[in-house]
Chains A and B, each alone.
Chain A
Amino acid sequence: MTRYFTEDHEWIEVDGESATVGITDYAQSQLGDIVFAEVPAVGATLKKGGDAAVVESVKAASDVYAPVSGTVTDGNAALEGDPALVNSDPEGDGWFFKLTLSDTSELDSLMDAAAYKAFVDGL
C-alpha cells in the first residue's frame, strides 16, 4: 500500500485499484475543532480535483476534494456521530471515503510523504 498527498491536504492510501481518502494532520490542525463532516454517497462518481466531501469546523465550512477520479465504495459512517475523529486520528480512523480508481495514472501527479512534508514546511 502506498500513501500519496495533494496540495489541498488530502491523503489517499492506494491498494491496487482501491483507495481510502482523508485529510492530513496539517489540515485538521489548521481547521481546528471539527463539528460536522459530510461524506459522499456510495456509488457517487468523483472527478479528480472535484468536490467530494465537506468538513466544518466551529468557524467555517471547507471542501474536501477528490485526489483522483473514481467511484465511491464506502463513506465513513463514524464521522456522523463523532466528527472529532478527524481531529484525533485524521490519517487513521478519521478517514472520509473509499473509492475505486478509474485511472491509476492520475496518482503520478500526487506527492509522496517526503514531498508533502517539504510542501507543508514551506507554507
Chain B
Amino acid sequence: MSDTDEFEYELEPIEILELPLDAWHRARGARMVEFAGYHMPIQYEGIMAEHLWTRENAGLFDVSHMGQLMLSGDGVAEALEALVPGDISALKEGKMRYSLLLDEDGGVLDDMMITAAPMGLYVVVNGAVKWDDMGYLREHLPDEITMNYMEGRALLALQGPKAVDALARVVPGVGALYFMEAGTFFWGPRADPEPLWISRSGYTGEDGFEISVAAEHAKALADQLCAQPEVQPIGLGARDSLRLEAGLPLYGHDMNPDIDPVEGNASFAISKRRRVEGGFAGSDRILKALAEGPAKKLVGLSVDGKMPVREGAPVFAGDTQVGTITSGGFAPSVGAPIAMGYVAGGHNAIGSALEAEVRGKRVALTVAAMPFVPHHYHRRGANA
C-alpha cells in the first residue's frame, strides 16, 4: 500500500497518430517507430546508406510531425519578440531565421524556424513539444494575434547537393531561392496548380528545401520527388546522424528548459538589436551570460577510437565530472564516433582533452569545432 492511492486512476493508452504519408512509408519498406506521438519511419534501406546518399545526392524526409503555425495580426513580429531573442520585426517577406522560444527565466522551450510570409509569420516548431508551444504562445501572445495550427499540411524536406536539380524539375523556379529564403511556388497541371510553400533550408547541413504541402497532395508530391533519379526516401535515423555531423542541436536532448541560449551555443540567434535593447523573456539572465560567459556550454566532441559515446555518458577532466553527453553516435561521413555535450567553463575550449565514461571504461574526447562536416548551404552572395 502506498499513501498515494487516492491519486491513482486509469490511464487511457495514448493513441499513436498516423501522418499523411504513413501508408506511403510502409509501402516503401520503412521500419516504423513511435516518435513525437506519431508512427514515423526510422529507416528504409539502412541508416548508413541513407545518410551517405543524402550527403551525395538528395534525400526526402517526411517531417510532417513538426508543428506548422501561422501567427498573424497587427504587430505580430513585435509581439513574438517578447518570447524570442531574434530580430523578427526586421525580417523581410520571404526571409527566415532560426530562433528559440524562451520561458520567463530564459530557458529554451523549443527551437524554431520563423519566416516572414505574406499572411504573417510562418513558424515551424518541433513535433515533440508542439502542443506545449502552442499553449505557451497562446497564453503569452496578445489576444489580437491569431495563431493558426496548419494541421492539414504535410511538411517534406528534400536535402542534399542534388536536391535543387530534382526539385526544380518538379517545381520550376525553386532554384532562385537562396539559403533561408522562402516563397510560394506552383506545382502540378497548369490549369489547376497546387500552391506549395517552399523554403531553402533544412537540418542536415546540406543545401536543400522544406516543402509545405496540403496533406491530401503529399503522397503525389512524394511519389513525384522519389521518381527523380537523385532522390531516395530517408528515415529519422539518418536525419539524426546528419544533423549531429552538421553540429545542429536536437531539442529535448541538446537543449531543454534548464538551458539558456548562450549555454546552448545559440548566441548567434540573439540578434544585435535585441542584445542592446533586451526586452525578451529571460533577457536579464541571457544578456548577463553573454557578457560574462556561460558556466557551461554545448560543445562538439571528437571521440578517440571506434566505440560510440552516447547521450547520458558523464564527461570527466581527471577525476572530476565536468559535463554530460547529450547526443552521440557513429558519424557515417566522418567515419568515427562524434558527440555533443555540456562541458563546464575552463574545460570547454576547442582542443581541450577530456574523457567520457562508457560501461565503466574511460574514452578519450577532444572538444572539437562544429560542424564536424562542413555546411554546404546555397548562401546569397557566396561563390557557388
Contacts and interface: CB of A to CB of B under 8 A. Distances in A.
Interface stretch (B40-48, B210-218, B287-295): B40-48
Contacts of B241: 58
A35 B308 contact: yes
A33 B48 contact: yes
Nearest to B33: A59
B130 to A, nearest CB: 23
B237 to A, nearest CB: 5
Nearest to B51: A58
Contacts of A33: 46-49
Nearest to A59: B237
Given A54-B359, A58-B241, A59-B47, A36 B306 contact: yes
Contact of B237 (A32, A36, A38): A32
A61 B306 contact: no
Interface string B184-200: 00000000000000000
A60 B312 CA distance: 13
Interface string B226-249: 000000000001001100000000
A58 to B, nearest CB: 4
A119 B367 CA distance: 46
Interface string A28-42: 000011011010000
Contacts of B330: 35-36, 56, 58
A61 B308 contact: yes
A59 to B, nearest CB: 5
Contacts of A89: none
Contacts of A35: 306, 308, 330, 337
A38 B359 CA distance: 11
A76 B63 CA distance: 41
Contacts of B23: none
Nearest to B49: A33
Interface string B31-74: 00000000000110011110100000000000000000000000
B93 to A, nearest CB: 40
A28 to B, nearest CB: 11
A58 B306 contact: no
Interface size class of A (residues with CB under 8 A): 10 to 19
Given A32-B237, A33-B48, A35-B330, A80 B306 contact: yes
A76 to B, nearest CB: 15
Contacts of B307: 36, 38, 56
Contacts of A60: 310
A83 B308 CA distance: 13
Nearest to B48: A33
B45 to A, nearest CB: 10
B237 A58 contact: yes
Interface in A7-56: 32-33, 35-36, 38, 54, 56
Nearest to B361: A38
A35 B307 CA distance: 8
B329 interface: yes
A56 B48 contact: no
A90 B46 CA distance: 17
B332 interface: yes
Contacts of B306: 35-36, 80, 83
B46 A32 contact: yes
A60 B42 CA distance: 12
A33 B167 CA distance: 30
Contacts of A32: 43, 46-48, 237
B308 A56 contact: yes
A56 B309 CA distance: 10
A35 B48 CA distance: 10
Interface string B172-193: 0000000000000000000000
Given A38-B307, A58-B241, A59-B329, 12 more contacts: A32-B46, A33-B46, A33-B48, A33-B49, A35-B337, A57-B47, A58-B237, A58-B329, A59-B47, A61-B308, A80-B306, A83-B306
28 contacts: A32-B43, A32-B46, A32-B47, A32-B48, A32-B237, A33-B47, A33-B48, A33-B49, A35-B330, A35-B337, A36-B307, A36-B330, A54-B359, A56-B308, A56-B330, A57-B47, A58-B51, A58-B237, A58-B241, A58-B330, A58-B332, A59-B47, A59-B237, A59-B240, A61-B308, A61-B310, A80-B306, A83-B306
Interface of B: 42-43, 46-49, 51, 237, 240-241, 306-308, 310, 329-330, 332, 337, 359
A-B interface, 7 closest residue pairs, ranked by CB to CB distance from nearest: A35-B330, A33-B48, A58-B47, A58-B330, A59-B237, A36-B306, A36-B307
